[in-house]
């Protein structure tokens, strides 16, 4: 197995007195797409919040590139090379596309080549380039998700945490978004993704993680997870069927 970029060990935590993470443990191999699946409420989004310092842990350790990053601030994590694209829409609709991208650097001061970085980011996404001066609200749902990804890439992260990117997107936009993630992976960026669209996501993934009740139930190569009949029945319900919606 390749080098490990992210090591999540025995995370315990939750909201108030409610424990959601019950010793969550897994690793992300460098240069992989690793997808977390599992039933609603399993704690998938909570794990991401914990990794990204948005949830105070009671126990556990997060190691990124061999460095203990448990409990670091978002700013420190961004500077260390981790970016987080949360579930849902996280843009400023009234600001322009370019301005939204610029905000990706707001936490990190002193980026001398920021304007050049923004233009380089736009060059990779023709649709965003064309609409750079329009309000972000004029983008389609898929384009808005691309905008969030581009914004996240501004500081050249080595690890992208992305929570349910396909939600609300047309099948075509889902494929386009997954293509972007594949291309990033091919450039050496590691991706840790949460997806309900389990089959499509596992098809482009190297590894799959099944999370249930805040515990890792299974970690394996994506094709093994995809073809494991227990997984479809126990953890995904109908989600293994490709949703046409």
Supply the minimum distance, in Å, between the C-beta of residue 59 and ligand ADP: 17
Shortest Cβ distance from residue 72 to ligand ADP (Å)?
A: 20
Number of H helices, E strands in the chain: 10, 10
Rg (CA), the chain: 18
Neighbours of 28 (CB within 10 A): 24
Residue 20 binds what, of ligand ADP, Mg ion, none (CB under 5 to 8 Å, by partner type)?
Answer: ligand ADP
Cα gap 139→62, rounded to integer Å? 36
CA-CA distance, 174 to 38, in Å (whole number)?
19
What residue spans of the chain are helical by DSSP H?
Answer: 44-51, 74-80, 97-102, 114-123, 126-130, 141-153, 171-186, 198-203, 222-226, 229-230
Contact positions vs ligand ADP (CB under 6 A): 15, 20, 38, 40-46
Q: Smaller CB distance to ligand ADP: residue 143 or 212?
A: 212
Nearer to ligand ADP, 128 or 202 (CB): 202
Which residue number, 41 or 115, has a Cβ lying nearer to ligand ADP? 41
Contact 103, 67 (CB under 8 A): no
Calpha distance 162→144 (Å, rounded): 14
Give the nearest residue (CB) to Mg ion. 45
Which residue, 66 or 238, is less far from ligand ADP as judged by CB?
238
Q: How far is the CB of 135 from ligand ADP (least distance, A)?
A: 30
Task: Please give the Cα distance from 27 to 17 (Å, whole number).
Answer: 27
Report the partner that residue 43 touches, choosing among Mg ion, ligand ADP, none (CB closer than 5 to 8 A by kind).
Answer: ligand ADP
Please, which residue, 1 or 18, has the CB nearer to ligand ADP?
18
Q: What is the DSSP letter of 131?
A: T
Q: Does 166 bind Mg ion (CB under 5 A)?
A: no
Q: Candidates 5-13, 40-48, 181-189, 232-240 — which segment interacts with Mg ion by CB under 5 A?
A: 40-48
* Closest CB 18 distance from ligand ADP, rounded Å: 6
Instruction: Kindly state whether residue 45 participates in binding Mg ion, applying the rule CB under 5 A.
Output: yes
CB of 88 to ligand ADP, least distance (A): 11
Q: How many positions of this chain bind Mg ion (CB under 5 A)? A: 2
Exposed (0-12), middle (13-18) or buried (19+): which is 123, by Cβ within 10 Å? exposed
Nearer to ligand ADP, 95 or 219 (CB): 219
**In what side-by-side order are the strands of the sheet with 59-64?**
18-29, 4-15, 59-64, 67-68
**Contact set with Mg ion (CB under 5 A):** 44-45
């Amino acid at each position: 197995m390749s080098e490990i970029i992210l090591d999540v060990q025995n995370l315990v935590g939750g909201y108030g007195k409610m424990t959601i993470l019950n010793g969550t443990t897994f690793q992300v191999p460098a240069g992989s797409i690793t997808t977390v699946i599992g039933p609603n409420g399993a704690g998938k989004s909570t794990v991401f919040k914990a990794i990204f310092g948005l949830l105070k842990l009671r126990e556990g350790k997060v190691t990124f590139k061999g460095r203990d990053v448990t409990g670091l601030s978002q700013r420190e994590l961004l500077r260390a090379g981790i970016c987080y694209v949360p579930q849902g829409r996280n843009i400023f609709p009234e600001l322009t596309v370019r301005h939204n991208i610029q905000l990706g650097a707001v936490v990190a001061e002193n980026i001398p080549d920021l304007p050049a970085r923004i233009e380089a980011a736009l060059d990779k996404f023709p649709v965003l380039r064309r609409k750079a001066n329009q309000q972000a609200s004029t983008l389609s749902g898929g384009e808005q998700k691309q905008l969030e990804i581009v914004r996240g890439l501004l500081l050249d992260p080595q690890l992208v945490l992305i929570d349910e990117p396909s939600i609300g997107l047309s099948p075509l936009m889902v494929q386009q978004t997954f293509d972007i993630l594949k291309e990033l992976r091919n450039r050496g960026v590691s991706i840790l993704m949460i997806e309900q669209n389990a089959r499509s996501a596992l098809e482009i993934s190297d590894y799959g993680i099944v999370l249930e009740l805040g515990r890792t139930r299974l970690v394996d190569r994506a094709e093994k997870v995809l073809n494991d009949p227990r997984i479809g029945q126990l953890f995904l319900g109908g989600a293994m069927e490709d949703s046409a919606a």
